[in-house]
Amino acid sequence: MSGRTVGGALRRVAQVALGVALLGAGTGHLTTLREEFQAQVPPWLPLDPDLVVVASGVVEIVLGAALLAVHRQPARAVTGAVVAAFFVAVFPGNVSQYLTGTDAFGLDTDTARAVRLAGQPVLVLWALWSTRAWGTWRERRAARER
């Protein structure tokens, strides 16, 4: 296998793994982990926490399914960018959990909650790398500049 083929295979595996993780998390939002996810809804958000959890769970299921379904560019890159944007959009919930000291998902210390905060950028990068979203954007930008 060439380096390009191995890299593509690794990206595809990472994309599928992220899709499966999102499907699992989304299902958890709607079922057994609903109360845990409610603990992450910022108290300043003027929406019912259960509504936020259900809506974000549905979005996670849709995004997870999309990651599993798309194989070709540019749809793959667009999906990755949307997933990355979703991870940025839910980040305030993780910050709120840290600032309020709310226990959920076994995160019962400030250190554990801080480590989770540090993991959020990894999810953003995972979405962008596995779908080649960043590279596709750069290639299209370079083509327009020629």
Quick one: pLDDT at residue 139? 80
Is 57's pLDDT higher than 70?
A: yes
More confidently predicted of 1 and 68: 68
- What value does the mean pLDDT take over residues 28-34? 95
pTM: 0.89
Residues 89/94/96/102 CA torsion (nearest 10 deg): 150
Average pLDDT, the chain: 92
Residue 74 zone, left/alpha/beta (φ > 0; ψ -120 to 50; rest): alpha
Averaged over 4-33, what is the pLDDT? Answer: 94
* Three-class DSSP category at 128: helix
